[in-house]
Chains A and B, each alone.
Chain A
Amino acid sequence: MLGSYPVAGKFGRYGGKYIPETLAPAVEELESAYEKYKNDPDFQKELSYYLTEYAGRPTPLYFAKNLTEHVGGAKIYLKREDLLHGGAHKTNNTLGQALLAKKMGKKRIIAETGAGQHGVGTALACAVLGLDAEVYMGAKDVERQKLNVFRMELLGAKVHPVQSGSKTLKDAINEAIRDWIANVNTTYYLIGSVVGPHPYPMMVRDFQSVIGHEVKQQMRELQGKLPDAVVACVGGGSNAMGSFYPFLDDQDVMLCGVEAGGHGIKSGKHSATLAAGSQGVLHGMFTYLLQDERGQVMETHSISAGLDYPGVGPEHSMLKDAKRARYAASTDDEAIEAFVTLSRLEGIIPALEPSHAISYAMKLAKEMSKDDIIVVTLSGRGDKDVQVVQDYLDSKNRGKKKKHAK
Chain B
Amino acid sequence: MQNRIAARFDELVSRDERALVCYVVAGYPDLKTSEEAIDALVVGGADIIEIGIPFSDPIADGPTIQAASYSALEKGVTPEKALRLAKSVRKRHPELPLLAMTYCNILVRVGVEKFMAHAKECGIDGFILPDMPVEEAGEYSQAASKLGLSLVFLASPNTSEARLRNIVKSTSGFLYLVSVYGITGARKSFEGYTLDAIRNVKRLAESKIPVAVGFGIKTPAHIRLMAGAGADGVIIGSAIVDIMSKSSSKKKMLKELVDFAKSMKRACKK
B132 adjacent to chain A (CB < 8 Å) = yes
Whether B110 pairs with A164 at a CB distance below 8 angstroms is: no
Whether B108 pairs with A20 at a CB distance below 8 angstroms is: no
In the complex, what's the smallest C-beta–C-beta distance from A169 to chain B, in angstroms? 12
**Complexed CA–CA distance, A16 and B132 (Å):** 10
Given the known interface contacts A21-B133, A181-B60, the answer about A295 and B181 at a Cβ–Cβ threshold of 8 Å is no
Whether A185 pairs with B181 at a CB distance below 8 angstroms is: yes
A297 adjacent to chain B (CB < 8 Å) = yes
Query: Which of B's residues lie within 8 Å of A, judged by CB?
Result: 55-60, 62-63, 66-67, 70, 73, 78-80, 103-110, 130-133, 135-136, 153-156, 158-160, 163, 167, 178, 181-183
Whether A20 pairs with B159 at a CB distance below 8 angstroms is: no
Given the known interface contacts A294-B79, A295-B79, the answer about A24 and B110 at a Cβ–Cβ threshold of 8 Å is no
Chain A residue with the shortest CB-CB distance to B106? A295
Interface size class of A (residues with CB under 8 A): 35 or more
In the complex, what's the smallest C-beta–C-beta distance from A83 to chain B, in angstroms? 36
Whether B105 pairs with A280 at a CB distance below 8 angstroms is: yes
The secondary structure that dominates the A interface is: mixed
**Complexed CA–CA distance, A174 and B103 (Å):** 13
Given the known interface contacts A17-B133, A174-B57, the answer about A293 and B109 at a Cβ–Cβ threshold of 8 Å is yes
A154 adjacent to chain B (CB < 8 Å) = no
Partner of B135, one of A17, A174, A182, A183: A17
**Complexed CA–CA distance, A286 and B103 (Å):** 13
Chain A residues near B103 (CB-CB < 8 A): 281
Partner of A24, one of B62, B108, B159: B159
Whether B159 pairs with A178 at a CB distance below 8 angstroms is: no
Whether A17 pairs with B60 at a CB distance below 8 angstroms is: no
A39 adjacent to chain B (CB < 8 Å) = no
Chain B residues near A171 (CB-CB < 8 A): 57
Given the known interface contacts A17-B135, A178-B183, A181-B182, the answer about A22 and B156 at a Cβ–Cβ threshold of 8 Å is yes
Whether B160 pairs with A25 at a CB distance below 8 angstroms is: yes
Partner of A164, one of B60, B63, B159: B63
Scoring B62, B107, B110, B133 by chain A CB atoms within 10 A of each residue's CB, the highest score goes to: B133
Give the residues from 247 to 286 in chain A that come closer than 8 angstroms, CB to CB, to chain B: 278-284, 286
Chain A residue with the shortest CB-CB distance to B164? A21
A165 adjacent to chain B (CB < 8 Å) = yes
Given the known interface contacts A16-B135, A183-B181, the answer about A295 and B60 at a Cβ–Cβ threshold of 8 Å is no
Give the residues from 8 to 28 in chain A that come closer than 8 angstroms, CB to CB, to chain B: 9, 16-22, 24-25
Chain B residues near A280 (CB-CB < 8 A): 105, 108-109
Scoring A281, A283, A286 by chain B CB atoms within 10 A of each residue's CB, the highest score goes to: A281
Chain A residues near B155 (CB-CB < 8 A): 21
Whether B57 pairs with A165 at a CB distance below 8 angstroms is: yes
Whether B59 pairs with A20 at a CB distance below 8 angstroms is: yes
Q: A24-B156, A174-B57 provided; 10 other pairs, C-beta below 8 A?
A: A9-B135, A16-B136, A17-B133, A22-B156, A164-B67, A181-B59, A182-B182, A185-B181, A281-B131, A294-B80
Whether A181 pairs with B183 at a CB distance below 8 angstroms is: yes
**Complexed CA–CA distance, A20 and B101 (Å):** 13
A193 adjacent to chain B (CB < 8 Å) = no
**Complexed CA–CA distance, A294 and B182 (Å):** 28
The 7 tightest CB contacts between A and B, nearest first, are: A295-B109, A22-B156, A182-B182, A281-B104, A296-B56, A281-B105, A297-B56
Whether B60 pairs with A297 at a CB distance below 8 angstroms is: no
In the complex, what's the smallest C-beta–C-beta distance from B136 to chain A, in angstroms? 5
In the complex, what's the smallest C-beta–C-beta distance from B130 to chain A, in angstroms? 5
